[in-house]
Amino acid sequence: MEKFRIFGGARLAGTVTISGAKNAALPCLAATLLTAEPVYLLGLPRVRDILTMEKVLAILGEHCEHQNGTTTVVMGRATETHAPYELVRTMRASVLVLGPLVAARQRARVALPGGCAIGARPIDFHLAALAQLGADIRLEHGDVVAEAPNGLRGAEITFPKVTVTGTENLLMAASLAVGRTVLRGCAREPEVCDLAAMLQAMGARISGAGTDTIEVEGVGELGGCTHRVIPDRIEAGTYLMAALLLGDGVRIEGCVPAHLAAVLELLAAAGATFTTEEHALVVPRQDRPLSGFSLTTREYPGFPTDLQAQAMALATQAQGRSEVVETIFENRFHHVLELKRLGAEITVEGHRAIVQGPRRLQGTTVMASDLRASAALVLAGLVAEGETIVDRIYHLDRGYEAMEAKLARLGARIARFNPGPFV
Ligand code: UD1
């Protein structure tokens, strides 16, 4: 099992270029199921979740070809409708094929994703909303089966709670439904807007993406398109925190700072200095440590839960008390115990963690438990004295493209190694 070895304390300087957003790329890949024409997707990150989605599409009869940064998705056998458990269990977001399959092929069979490390994460809102579009939904041998032999029909749907992939699934399904769909309580994430932009380029009629009410006028068919996915705001936010911890002048290139507004506002209030350009964040060496800060994770445009763990690593080096409240997921504090093993002082009460900083971190072996927790451990390892081994980095590989190479180019002392099967 591969690990990272990090020697902490190295200063970071130079330019890091942000990859395309995994969470935009996944629904965009799923949306290719809605058309028989080729789709050209630009800027997909080369991370494991994308490879998994491409495998799911291959099972569903599509081919993905890669050339010069463009992924071409071509429909082959458009008859398969079953996304099996072997793939879905490795990536919950496989559930994004449910909406497009039932809309375009009148039938979908998708294994029910199992529990995952950051809470129960059910898909009941996806299913209830698809049922409102007229899909017949049932559970068979651990798979969700959705059928609409006569096609889907537009409806007025209110999500009981904001769900990102739920909103995306419904946007895709409603694009091919007969008549008008009004979706209320929608996620407003930039990734939802990106999917809407791609669907519009395919011929869908969508208005209101980026607000909590989205209207979709169904069309008879969708065509191919060329679409570039937006940059990964979570990756950009992670490098921003690395630069605040250890930077001697870091330029984070190819990101959209506007997508990080809540994060930038909070960090600026804690004393961080940086400048923003339309597509870059420039972080000079910090004159003094940040002061402790309070953050509460919220749906976009609030502070993203996907940066909560990394912010906690940052808080270990801030002056005084920080408070981190997680409201989106239960059980998203697995990184706390590992950060404590490195020397952080953190107490957790329910959904609230209190971090006392600054604390001297000392390298040891730590275990990654999920994608974003892994990034937090890497940040802590970059700061810690001596050697830190981050185990189970396959979590990190799901969503960060070439993280060790990007950090090493900035001057970090980090390497991937494989100790062999028995270690
Ligand atoms: C997406 C992101 C993930 C991010 C999360 C929240 C992708 C591929 N993943 O995940 O990185 O952390 O948004 O920003 O885009 N819920 C239900 N029933 C449902 C759906 C959701 O109870 O049917 C609950 C979840 O358990 C969670 C909350 O709603 O507590 C929000 O989850 P949701 O927005 O759906 O997260 P994902 O779309 O899975």
Q: Same structural domain for residues 189 and 109?
A: yes
Give mean pLDDT, residues 237-266. Answer: 98
Q: Same structural domain for residues 351 and 411?
A: yes
- Rounded CA separation 253/222 (Å): 34
- Would you say residue 121 has pLDDT above 80? no
**Domain containing residue 268: CATH number:** 3.65.10.10
- Would you say residue 116 has pLDDT above 60? no
Alpha carbon nearest to ligand 1 atom 30, residue: 329
Structure confidence at residue 76 (pLDDT): 83
Distance 121 CA to ligand 1 centre (A): 7
Q: Same structural domain for residues 76 and 224?
A: yes
Residue 184: domain span: 22-228
Question: Among 175, 209, 228, where does a domain finish?
Answer: 228
Residues shown for the chain: 423
Q: Which of the 8 DSSP states describes residue 24?
A: H
Cα angle 347, 352, 354 (rounded to 5 degrees) comes to: 40
Give residue 259's pLDDT band: very low, low, confident or very high (50, 70, 90). Answer: very high
Q: Same structural domain for residues 157 and 258?
A: no
Give residue 422's pLDDT band: very low, low, confident or very high (50, 70, 90). Answer: low
Q: Same structural domain for residues 274 and 133?
A: no
Query: Closest ligand 1 atom to the C-alpha of 49?
Result: 8
Distance 328 CA to ligand 1 centre (A): 8
Does any domain span residue 423? no
Give residue 308's pLDDT band: very low, low, confident or very high (50, 70, 90). Answer: very high
Residues 6+ apart with CB under 8 A from 68: none
Give mean pLDDT, residues 307-336. Answer: 96
Known catalytic residue: 193?
Answer: no
What b/e string do you get for 208-227 counting C-beta neighbours within 10 Å, with b at 16 or more?
bbeebebbbebbeebebbeb
Does any domain span residue 76? yes
Which burial class, exposed, middle or buried, applies to 169 when counting CB atoms under 10 A from its CB (0-12, 13-18, 19+)? buried
CA 310, chain centre distance (Å): 14
Strands 365-367, 352-357: pairing kind: unpaired
Structure confidence at residue 118 (pLDDT): 55
Alpha carbon nearest to ligand 1 atom 26, residue: 121
Distance 274 CA to ligand 1 centre (A): 31
Q: Same structural domain for residues 202 and 294?
A: no
- Rounded CA separation 413/150 (Å): 59
Distance 363 CA to ligand 1 centre (A): 33
Indicate the SS3 state at residue 147. strand
Rg (CA), the chain: 22
- Rounded CA separation 208/301 (Å): 15
Does any domain span residue 82? yes
- Would you say residue 184 has pLDDT above 80? yes
Q: Same structural domain for residues 256 and 196?
A: no
Alpha carbon nearest to ligand 1 atom 12, residue: 306
* pLDDT digit string, tens, across residues 194-232: 999 999 999 999 999 999 999 999 999 999 999 999 999
Does any domain span residue 399? yes
Give residue 88's pLDDT band: very low, low, confident or very high (50, 70, 90). Answer: confident
Structural tokens at position 117:
């490390």
Structure confidence at residue 87 (pLDDT): 87
How many domains are contained in the chain? 2
Residues 6+ apart with CB under 8 A from 182: 155, 156, 157, 213, 214, 215
Q: Same structural domain for residues 188 and 258?
A: no
Residue type, 153: R
Does any domain span residue 127? yes
Distances (CA, A) of 116 to 10, 91, 98, 121, 146: 34, 9, 19, 7, 23
Does any domain span residue 236? yes
Question: Among 228, 249, 277, where does a domain finish?
Answer: 228
**Mutate which of 28, 121, 305 to test ligand 1's pocket (most atoms within 8 Å of Cβ)?**
121
Q: Same structural domain for residues 15 and 29?
A: no
Which burial class, exposed, middle or buried, applies to 180 when counting CB atoms under 10 A from its CB (0-12, 13-18, 19+)? middle
Q: Which of the 8 DSSP states describes residue 285?
A: P
- Strands of the sheet with 320-325, listed across from one edge: 294-296, 320-325, 352-357, 345-349
Task: Give φ, ψ of 83 to 5 degrees.
Answer: -95, 110
Strands 294-296, 82-83: pairing kind: unpaired
Q: Same structural domain for residues 251 and 295?
A: yes
Give mean pLDDT, residues 84-93. Answer: 88
Q: Same structural domain for residues 411 and 335?
A: yes
Query: Closest ligand 1 atom to the C-alpha of 161?
Result: 29
Structure confidence at residue 26 (pLDDT): 98
- Would you say residue 367 has pLDDT above 90? yes
Question: Among 164, 196, 228, where does a domain finish?
Answer: 228
Does any domain span residue 422? no
Does any domain span residue 211? yes
Specify the pTM.
0.97
- What residues does ligand 1 touch, defined as CB less than 6 Å away? 23, 26, 92-93, 119, 121-126, 161, 163-166, 191, 305-306, 328-329
Q: Same structural domain for residues 406 and 302?
A: yes
Distance 419 CA to ligand 1 centre (A): 35
